[in-house]
Amino acid sequence: MILGIDTSTDTMSIALYQEGTILGEYTTNLKKNHSVRLLPAIQTLLEECNAKPHDLTKIAVSEGPGSYTGLRIGVTVAKTLAWDLAIPLVGISSLEVLAASGRYFNGKIVPLMDARRGNVYAGIYEAGENGFIQVHADQHISLAELLTYLEEKKQPVLFIGQLSAAFHEQISAALGDQATLSEPPYAYARGGTLTWLAEQKEGVPVHTFVPTYLKLAEAESKWLEARKEP
């Protein structure tokens, strides 16, 4: 039985998965503190599914990118559970979890997260003969630069994520009919999707596992810049 944890954004999603079946999933999209809500939510989900912590065989967690605080909360809980239960820990890209919702789209699948100041966290995926695969590494990039790259490819593109109206307008203006924007039910990361992706993946060392931020926090960037000054 796999427990999946995603707290990479305001959306908190957890799920239990066993032998191809999502036993239960709890997802909210609220600007509330994950640190207060995550453990009670896990306890409730286990109880509703008549499961105990020792029934778990793997912990899956969204490793980033995303909210610095949210990622740290999810990863800390996942590492603690995996260590305490002596079971494998699997980290999955937060963008891959989003992209998997569009895995039947015939074209490029681009999960997006707003990284502020006109920038996004993005990856490029597609469903091919070898299954759902990543064709361009996750990165921190300006939306304008990403759209220029995609426009040159002249292929249909599905954008998945919670994006502002301004971003929607920018995407439509740049790509026109080449772009498809995800509907609200598919714009959120789901714990069930996370557990499905983690099913066939091997665990990683718990002690050395850290979130994948793709970009330093603003305070850290300023601190490093200050150290460079004479």
pLDDT for the residue 218: 46
pLDDT for the residue 131: 76
pLDDT tens over the chain, length 230 residues: 999 999 999 999 999 999 999 999 999 998 889 999 999 999 999 999 999 999 999 999 999 999 999 999 999 999 999 999 999 999 999 999 999 999 999 999 999 999 999 999 999 999 877 778 999 999 999 999 999 999 999 999 999 999 899 999 999 999 999 999 999 889 999 999 999 999 989 999 999 999 999 975 444 444 334 445 44
Per the domain annotation, does 61 fall within a domain? yes
Residues 45, 80 within the same domain: yes
Residues 163, 205 within the same domain: no
| Residue 67 CA neighbour count, 13 Å, CB half | 16
Any idea what the Cα angle at residue 26 is, between residues 21 and 31, rounded to 5°? 150
Task: Name the region of 154 (left: φ>0; alpha: ψ -120 to 50; beta: rest).
Answer: left
Residues 89, 104 within the same domain: no
Whole-prediction pTM: 0.91
Residues 11, 74 within the same domain: yes
DSSP-derived secondary structure letter, 139: E
* Cα–Cα distance list, 152 to 149, 174, 182, 230 (Å): 5, 11, 21, 43
Find all residues with CB under 8 Å of 159, minimum gap 6, and list them.
110, 111, 112, 171, 179, 180, 181, 182
pLDDT for the residue 227: 47
| Alpha carbon distance 199, 191 (integer Å) | 12
pLDDT for the residue 91: 97
Q: Kind and range of the H or E element at 45?
A: helix 34-48
pLDDT for the residue 216: 54
pLDDT for the residue 129: 75
Contact 123, 136 (CB under 8 A): yes
Residue linked to tokens 């032998």 = 19
**Residue 204 is which amino acid?**
V
Residues comprising the chain, all counted:
230
Task: Name the region of 54 (left: φ>0; alpha: ψ -120 to 50; beta: rest).
Answer: alpha
* Structural domain for 209, as ranges: 2-94+189-222
| Alpha carbon distance 88, 74 (integer Å) | 16
| Alpha carbon distance 87, 30 (integer Å) | 30
Residues 176, 195 within the same domain: no
pLDDT for the residue 228: 52
pLDDT for the residue 226: 46
Residues 70, 16 within the same domain: yes
CATH number at residue 104: 3.30.420.40
Residues 197, 90 within the same domain: yes
